[in-house]
Structure 1
Amino acid sequence: MPDDWRRALAVVAHPDDLEYGCSAAVAAWTDGGREVVYVLATRGEAGIDTIDPATCGPLREREQRASAAVVGVSEVEFLDHRDGVVEYGPALRRDIAAAIRRHRPELVITLNHRDTWGGVAWNTPDHVAVGRATLDAAGDAGNRWIFPELAEQGLEPWDGVRWVAVAGSSSPTHAVDATPGMERAVRSLLEHRAYIEVLTDQDPEEYCRTFLTANAQAAAPRFGGRPAVAFEVFSR
């Protein structure tokens, strides 16, 4: 995985997406003195059937902020697109490009933007829309003639994104050793307790640990036998 960078921006659709996808890597990066900022398209307000969106959104926002803090991320932004019906298009690209211009990252991180998870399970429309828009917005952010209104708002073009790394890809090209950050990754995912408790009857901590360690072990054969957080990295 490239390591000659200081600032990363992670852009995903929902609270918990990063915790399921790559928080062990984030923990290792922040331990090394790098800055990581989270941007979420929604507040996950449609994610829990038994809690109405007006109550669920603030709850999941609180859980996300607590979850991010566990792995050393202090800045979490929400773009306030509607959970479940995020649309790929200029509005989403503009919001993400604006975030890239604000934070000026060298590395941008997102989640699987393809239709399926490895051809086995169908992906959600929100993941597809946000992942695809993030890949496009990495270029939009550097072009002053795309979304010129951003410059008028004081957000000058930023063409410094060098890589976009996609977590959860079925075609990974790079990886980060998961071992140093795994315990914090488990605790970080566990902060989404309200969501997890309606998702499974399993003990929440056991569920988090089993899920994350299994994913890291599954990546190990491709990356020197070590448990890993895998990414598909696109250079720019």
Structure 2
Amino acid sequence: MPEDWNRALAIVAHPDDLEYGAAAAIARWTAAGREVAYLMVTRGEAGIDTMEPERAARVRQAEQRASAAVVGVEEVEFLDHRDGVVEEGVALRRDLTAAIRRHRPELLITLNHHETWGGVNWNTPDHRAVGRAVLDAAGDAGNRWIFTDLADRGLEPWDGVRWVAVAGSPQPTHAVEVAQEDVDRAVASLAEHRAYIGALSDKEPAEYAREFVTGVMDMLAGQTGGRRAVAFQVYPRG
């Protein structure tokens, strides 16, 4: 996995997406002094069946901020695209391009944009739309002739994105080895999504989170020599 970078921006569709994929790696990176910021395209308002959207948005934003803090991420932003019906297209690309120009990362992180999870379960439209838009916006951010209005707002082109790393991809190319303390922080980070987990499972959030996080890593163990790691599909940019 590339290590010669200092600033990353993680862009995903929903609160909790990073905790289900990349949090242990992010914990390792922030502990090493790297800067990581989060951008959620939605506020997760359609994610809890027993909670009306306006309240769910408030709850899930608070849970996401608490979750990010556990792995050393201080900056968490939310866009206002509608949860469940994120539209892939120019408007989304413009918003992501603006964020990339604002944060000026070398590494972008996102979640699986492929049609399935491991060729078995169908991926959701929001994940697919956002992941693909991240890949597109990585290039858009550096082209001064695309979204020219952004420069008028002080967002000058940024062609410094060197890689896009996709967590949860069924086609991983790289892995970040993590220590037990990184795993523990990732578990605690996921467990902060208490209301969301409570709607999914009867288990205590900490128990649910540990089973999920360690279960994913154990599935990768055969490809990592038995070491715990987080896998990514990495797209280098020329």
Contact kept, 8 Å, 2:192 with 2:205, in 1: the verdict is no
Structure 2 segments unaligned to the other structure (5+ residues): none
Q: What is the distance in 2 between the residues matched to 1:19 and 1:65? A: 12
Q: What is the distance in 2 between the residues matched to 1:11 and 1:204? A: 24
Residue 223 (structure 1) shift: 2.1
2:220 matched residue in structure 1 = 219
2:199 matched residue in structure 1 = 198
Residue 204 (structure 1) shift: 1.9
2:185 matched residue in structure 1 = 184
- The DSSP-based 3-state class of the residue aligned with 1:230 is strand
2:233 matched residue in structure 1 = 232
Instruction: Give the length in aligned residue pairs.
Output: 236
Moved over 4 A (4+): none
2:160 matched residue in structure 1 = 160
Q: What is the distance in 2 between the residues matched to 1:68 and 1:136? A: 25
Aligned residue type for 1:6: N
TM-score w.r.t. the length of structure 1 is 0.99
Provide the aligned C-alpha RMSD in A. Answer: 0.7
Structure 1 segments unaligned to the other structure (5+ residues): none
Contact kept, 8 Å, 1:41 with 1:80, in 2: the verdict is yes
Contact kept, 8 Å, 1:178 with 1:216, in 2: the verdict is no
Relative to structure 2, which stretch is displaced further, 218-227 or 161-170? Answer: 218-227
1:111 matched residue in structure 2 = 111
- The DSSP-based 3-state class of the residue aligned with 2:176 is strand
Q: What is the distance in 1 between the residues matched to 2:221 and 2:144? A: 42
Q: What is the distance in 2 between the residues matched to 1:219 and 1:144? A: 41
Contact kept, 8 Å, 1:196 with 1:204, in 2: the verdict is yes
TM-score w.r.t. the length of structure 2 is 0.98
Q: What is the distance in 1 between the residues matched to 2:99 and 2:157? A: 11
Aligned residue type for 1:101: R
Q: What is the distance in 2 between the residues matched to 1:104 and 1:203? A: 38
- The DSSP-based 3-state class of the residue aligned with 1:234 is strand
Aligned residue type for 1:221: G
Residue 218 (structure 1) shift: 1.2
- The DSSP-based 3-state class of the residue aligned with 2:232 is strand
Residue 150 (structure 1) shift: 0.6
CA offsets, 1:89-145, max 9 Å, x none? 000001001100000000000000011101110100000000000000000000011
Aligned residue type for 2:50: T
- The DSSP-based 3-state class of the residue aligned with 1:147 is coil
Residue 67 (structure 1) shift: 0.3
Q: What is the distance in 1 between the residues matched to 2:70 and 2:225? A: 28
1:48-87 superposed matches below 5 A: 48-87=48-87
Aligned residue type for 1:216: M
Q: Percent identity?
A: 70
Residue 146 (structure 1) shift: 0.7
